[in-house]
A and B are shown apart, each in its own frame.
Chain A
């Protein structure tokens, strides 16, 4: 690509080019309004509100260890919400992400146990399986052009059934055998499910992973070619293709990224509980998607961030634990989620209408 130079200065000269010149028709909107128009700021304020609410109504939340618990809960949602959010920005959904977590954990656990391998072999094979599931989802979506909602609804049902049936077939039970005394377990537990102490409070390592992944995702989204392509394929796939963006690669790799997230959370589940319940994970995909939407990712693709879903996941973790600390019936959790989702969506809509009014 060569930089083009234009020989003679045009006669119908463009308005004298000066670097500071503007067309002067745009009045700067007040900073506060411009900030509010950003969905990440909205969800941040929402997270603060939820936090303050439970600080007031559930006194045990004020404790440091409670906070560590809330953050832990948030991190297990948040780690998955990140790739789900990137995928949403890229214009697609993955309804199989919740059960895929369990599939990954089951794969690692059962392969290691049945073949008496070092658990790391199981971990590695689970990674391959998870990436393959992501690849298949993405490949089918790209090649058929069908909505990812349909394709991944299919894989959701398939995985849900396979999880239950294969586990029953292999172990004769609904859960896998305890692998905590196998080779490599302690080491793997250190990596995926350990905790460390900060000022007398036990902090789970997933919180660190969560924040590191979020920082990484933000950087990728805003500062790399790949990030540019994610926005482009979600915003207008045809245009992106026409100007040379590798649409197929971008979409499939995003699905594989969700696969990676499912593997990571699956490994955390496996090494913190030693066994896996094969029927779990159903409904989690909607929690991840909600966290991404509350975090300001556009359901139709093309807009969003990685930091928004971090606050979205925090809101969910806060409510989930806050209800327990407040001594309420935990059954209220889902109702709370629904209210927050609707509230966030409505507030975002209202804010973006008022703040971006031109």
Chain B
């Protein structure tokens, strides 16, 4: 696809699509995730971003096209299979169990145990220690890891979910709008995590509404609109400005600008012209 992506992709979607009954949420999507690269997926609400990552994380199955991991076609029937391939996900709804303690949530589904079989039991001390360490690295300090995760703030919960995926994602890390509920500092920490994961050689899929966040860490950008791919470009093919315009609704906005200019009192100076969208400005970061 582009020059700076070398080696075989870890995860690849070829003309993949997904229908929920008669709702076609996703259609003809191509996506490649390489080790050590960050692929950003952007798009409006309902564009199909979550649907896309749910296919990769094993929560849903694609109904058309191909899904390849390490070059081989796969069809995950449970998220466990994706996890076993080293694909970990931070879901938009976080996938935590509110009544369970923080540390149990952190290790849920991947609990560590000790002792021989009939007496095999949870390694509670070890799990608490690990969870505490990983959370502190995220800048989250909790008085009591035994407190139900439902009593944490939305942002804290998000950090737990991210810390968990970073800890268990061995090869591919998927983040569905991880910075949506976060403050400036925590967003910075998350972006740094993404960069750190990339530098460790993980393939990262980063879903966000924020083109600035995307442009800070992304190597490749895909913009979804109404379930199809509108833009699929690597970093050297697209500028932040262009990305923002695509994100902001691009051509629709330009049309809207025309309509709005007929209405008194709406300042349209700041909105892009349709022409802005087809002239890529090779920005040097």
Which residue from chain B places its CB closest to the CB of A26 in the assembled complex? B143
Q: Check A228–B79 contact: CB distance below 8 A.
A: no
One of A13-21, A140-148, A177-185 at the interface: A13-21
Q: Check A26–B120 contact: CB distance below 8 A.
A: no
What's the Cα separation between A303 and B97 when bound, in Å? 11
Q: Check A2–B170 contact: CB distance below 8 A.
A: yes
Q: Which residues of B sit under 8 angstroms from A5, Cβ to Cβ? A: 200
Q: Check A302–B78 contact: CB distance below 8 A.
A: no
Measured between C-beta atoms, what is the minimum distance from A40 to chain B in Å? 15
Q: Check B108–A228 contact: CB distance below 8 A.
A: yes
Q: Check A25–B143 contact: CB distance below 8 A.
A: yes
Q: Check A302–B144 contact: CB distance below 8 A.
A: no
Q: Is B83 an interface residue (CB 8 A)?
A: yes
Q: Which residues of A sit under 8 angstroms from B111, Cβ to Cβ? A: 225, 228
Measured between C-beta atoms, what is the minimum distance from B250 to chain A in Å? 33
What's the Cα separation between A302 and B99 when bound, in Å? 7
Q: Which residues of B sit under 8 angstroms from A24, Cβ to Cβ? A: 143
Partner of A1, one of B110, B113, B193: B110
Q: Which residues of A sit under 8 angstroms from B120, Cβ to Cβ? A: 224
Say whether, besides A12-B188, A12-B189, A23 and B79 are in contact (CB < 8 Å).
no
Q: Which residues of B sit under 8 angstroms from A25, Cβ to Cβ? A: 143
Q: Check B144–A244 contact: CB distance below 8 A.
A: no
Say whether, besides A4-B200, A6-B196, A21-B141, A239 and B95 are in contact (CB < 8 Å).
yes
Q: Check B136–A17 contact: CB distance below 8 A.
A: yes
Partner of A236, one of B89, B97, B139: B97
Interface size counted on chain B using CB atoms at 8 A: 56
What's the Cα separation between A358 and B193 when bound, in Å? 33
Partner of B97, one of A4, A6, A231: A231
Number of A-B contacts defined by CB within 8 Å? 131
Q: Check B192–A10 contact: CB distance below 8 A.
A: yes
Q: Is B91 an interface residue (CB 8 A)?
A: yes
Chain B contacts with A in 59-95, Cβ cutoff 8 A: 59, 78-80, 83, 86, 89, 91, 93-95
Q: Check B189–A10 contact: CB distance below 8 A.
A: yes
Query: Considering residues A23, A239, A298, A358, which has the most beta carbons from chain B within 10 angstroms of its beta carbon?
Result: A239
Chain A contacts with B in 50-93, Cβ cutoff 8 A: none
Q: Is B206 an interface residue (CB 8 A)?
A: no
Provide the B106-146 mask, 1 if CB < 8 A to any CB of A, else 0.
Answer: 01111101000000111010000010110011111111100
Q: Is A174 an interface residue (CB 8 A)?
A: no
Q: Is B168 an interface residue (CB 8 A)?
A: yes
Q: Check A23–B143 contact: CB distance below 8 A.
A: yes
Q: Which residues of A sit under 8 angstroms from B188, Cβ to Cβ? A: 12
Partner of A4, one of B104, B110, B167: B167
Provide the A227-254 mask, 1 if CB < 8 A to any CB of B, else 0.
Answer: 0110110011011111111100000000
Say whether, besides A3-B167, A23-B143, A244 and B110 are in contact (CB < 8 Å).
yes
Provide the A254-294 mask, 1 if CB < 8 A to any CB of B, else 0.
Answer: 00000000000000000000000000000000000000000
Q: Check B151–A358 contact: CB distance below 8 A.
A: yes
Which residue from chain B places its CB closest to the CB of A219 in the assembled complex? B121
Measured between C-beta atoms, what is the minimum distance from B117 to chain A in Å? 11
Partner of A302, one of B97, B151, B170: B97
What's the Cα separation between A72 and B275 when bound, in Å? 85
Q: Check B108–A245 contact: CB distance below 8 A.
A: yes
What's the Cα separation between A22 and B97 when bound, in Å? 23
Partner of B141, one of A23, A223, A228, A244: A23
Q: Which residues of A sit under 8 angstroms from B138, Cβ to Cβ? A: 14
Q: Check B104–A231 contact: CB distance below 8 A.
A: yes
Q: Is B98 an interface residue (CB 8 A)?
A: yes
Q: Check A1–B170 contact: CB distance below 8 A.
A: yes
Provide the A5-45 mask, 1 if CB < 8 A to any CB of B, else 0.
Answer: 11110111011010101111110000000000000000000
Q: Which residues of A sit under 8 angstroms from B100, Cβ to Cβ? A: 228, 231-232, 235, 302
Q: Which residues of B sit under 8 angstroms from A242, Cβ to Cβ? A: 57, 59, 79, 89, 91, 95
Q: Check B80–A244 contact: CB distance below 8 A.
A: yes
Measured between C-beta atoms, what is the minimum distance from B183 to chain A in Å? 11
What's the Cα separation between A25 and B196 when bound, in Å? 31
- Other than the given A22-B142, A228-B108, A243-B164, 17 more pairs (CB < 8 A) read A1-B110, A1-B167, A4-B169, A10-B189, A12-B185, A14-B136, A15-B139, A24-B143, A225-B122, A236-B96, A236-B98, A242-B59, A242-B91, A243-B109, A245-B109, A246-B80, A302-B100
25 pairs from A and B in contact (CB 8 Å cutoff)? A1-B86, A4-B169, A7-B200, A8-B196, A12-B139, A14-B141, A17-B136, A21-B141, A22-B143, A23-B141, A25-B143, A26-B143, A223-B124, A235-B98, A235-B100, A238-B93, A239-B97, A240-B97, A240-B108, A241-B78, A242-B57, A242-B79, A244-B78, A246-B80, A302-B100
Nearest 4 CB-CB pairings of A with B? A244-B109, A14-B139, A235-B97, A242-B95
